[in-house]
């Protein structure tokens, strides 16, 4: 028993020394690009910038917007793993990177949302669309009744909507949105966006009796999401097939991995050598953001998303 413990202690110490070579790398050279979204069953190909089709948009030029919503990701995570072939005595490999955004308050998130919404409206108008005034929509009896009967479902704290707008339940939207389209004789548009702060590039492989996994990460304000469309003739949605992003930097990373996590994973790695299993490495970071710079970067991503959606609408309305 004593010999086992001595061997285990030596292994733990050796892993603690070797552990300085991290499978997680932070790119601090500037803003990075998000990865390319791909899809396919056998052969994956890059998605189009905007996917989806709404045939009911054809010849429609009057719209209203009951909800323009943006969720801001504050905590993000990436995981990569490589597993041994069946029956192998070798251990698997797993790497995790966690990043928390700090330094941006709710007031800034709301300002970004308001300005992004104003940009969406401006681009719709420039494309020849007539937008029914928000106050007219919000004062409509059916909308007012919906807000009373189906109050805001309680958006997450990191989700913000344009002024005066509410996020009703799915039941409410199903019952009311179609009727609003009929009464207002207009197309309903509801963009739902998400802005992340970190882009990850992961790679893992298993070759013969050894495996590896690594994650590269860097700051990147990038947006994804979709535009829901409801008309009197049906509906659907347009979705960002590729993220929009900004090339502006806005913060600095600080490693903040818990000492408990480091100690636990070091011991588990040593045990895995003796008993087999999966070895894990977790790295935790704080991304300290400058509010003004983050705002500019996030707006870049959201405004480009607005442009893509409006251009897709114009193309499908022909």
Number of domain units in the chain: 1
pLDDT at 275: 46
- The answer to whether 165 and 187 are in contact (CB under 8 A) is no
Q: How far apart are CA 166 and CA 142, in angstroms?
A: 13
Task: Return the structure tokens found at 161.
Answer: 């909507």
Which of 264-287 are b and which e, b meaning 16 or more Cβ less than 10 Å from the residue's Cβ?
A: ebbbbbbebbeeeebbbbbbbbbb
For residue 268, name the pLDDT band (cuts at 50, 70, 90). very low
Structural domain of 295: 2-316
How far apart CA 114 and CA 117 sit, in angstroms, is: 5
How many CA atoms does the CB half-sphere of 211 hold within 13 Å?
23
Strand partners of residue 86: none
CB atoms < 10 A from the CB of 83, how many? 16
In which band, very low, low, confident or very high, does the pLDDT at 11 lie, cut at 50, 70 and 90? very low
Mean pLDDT of the chain: 82
pLDDT at residue number 99: 95
Confidence of residue 63 (pLDDT cuts 50, 70, 90): very high
Q: What is the pLDDT of residue 177?
A: 83
> For residue 120, what are the CA distances in angstroms to 123, 189, 210, 309?
5, 11, 51, 9
What is the pLDDT, as a whole number, of residue 9? Answer: 44
Residue 220 CA: distances (Å) to CA of 258, 281, 296:
24, 23, 12
Distance CA 78, CA 201 (A): 9
Can you tell me the mean pLDDT for 177-198? 93
Which ranges of 58-130 does DSSP label H, i.e. alpha helix? 106-126
pLDDT band at 259 (very low <50, low <70, confident <90, very high): low
- Helix (H), strand (E) at residue 283: strand 278-289
pLDDT digits (tens, 9 = 90+) for 82-127: 776 654 545 678 889 999 999 999 999 999 999 999 999 999 999 9
* Coil, strand or helix at 166: coil
């Amino acid at each position: 028993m004593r010999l086992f413990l001595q061997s285990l202690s030596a292994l733990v110490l050796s892993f603690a020394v070797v552990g300085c070579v991290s499978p997680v790398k932070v790119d601090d050279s500037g803003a990075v690009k998000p990865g390319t979204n791909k899809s396919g069953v056998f052969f994956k190909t890059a998605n189009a910038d905007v996917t989806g089709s709404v045939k009911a948009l054809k010849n429609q030029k009057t719209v209203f917007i009951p909800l323009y919503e943006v969720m801001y990701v504050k905590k993000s995570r990436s995981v990569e793993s490589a597993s041994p072939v069946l029956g192998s005595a070798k251990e698997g490999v797993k790497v995790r990177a966690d990043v928390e955004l700090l330094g941006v308050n709710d007031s800034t998130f709301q300002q970004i949302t308001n300005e992004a919404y104003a940009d969406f409206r401006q681009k719709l108008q420039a494309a020849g669309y007539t937008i029914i005034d928000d106050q007219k929509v919000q004062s409509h009896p059916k909308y007012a009744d919906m807000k009373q009967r189906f109050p805001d479902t309680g958006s997450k704290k990191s989700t913000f909507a344009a002024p005066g707008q509410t996020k009703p339940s799915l039941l409410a939207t199903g019952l009311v949105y179609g009727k609003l389209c009929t009464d207002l004789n207009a197309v309903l548009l509801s963009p739902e966006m998400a802005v992340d702060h970190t882009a990850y590039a992961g790679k893992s492989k298993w070759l013969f009796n050894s495996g590896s996994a690594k994650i590269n990460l860097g700051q990147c304000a990038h947006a994804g999401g979709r535009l829901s469309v409801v008309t009197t003739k049906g509906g659907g949605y347009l979705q960002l097939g590729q993220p929009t992003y900004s090339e502006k930097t806005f913060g600095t990373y600080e490693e903040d991995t818990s000492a408990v996590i480091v100690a636990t994973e070091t011991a588990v790695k040593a045990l895995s050598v003796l008993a087999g299993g999966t070895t894990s490495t977790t790295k935790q970071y704080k991304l300290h953001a400058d509010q003004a710079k983050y705002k500019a970067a996030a707006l870049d991503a959201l405004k480009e998303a607005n442009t893509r959606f409006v251009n897709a609408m114009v193309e499908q309305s022909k």
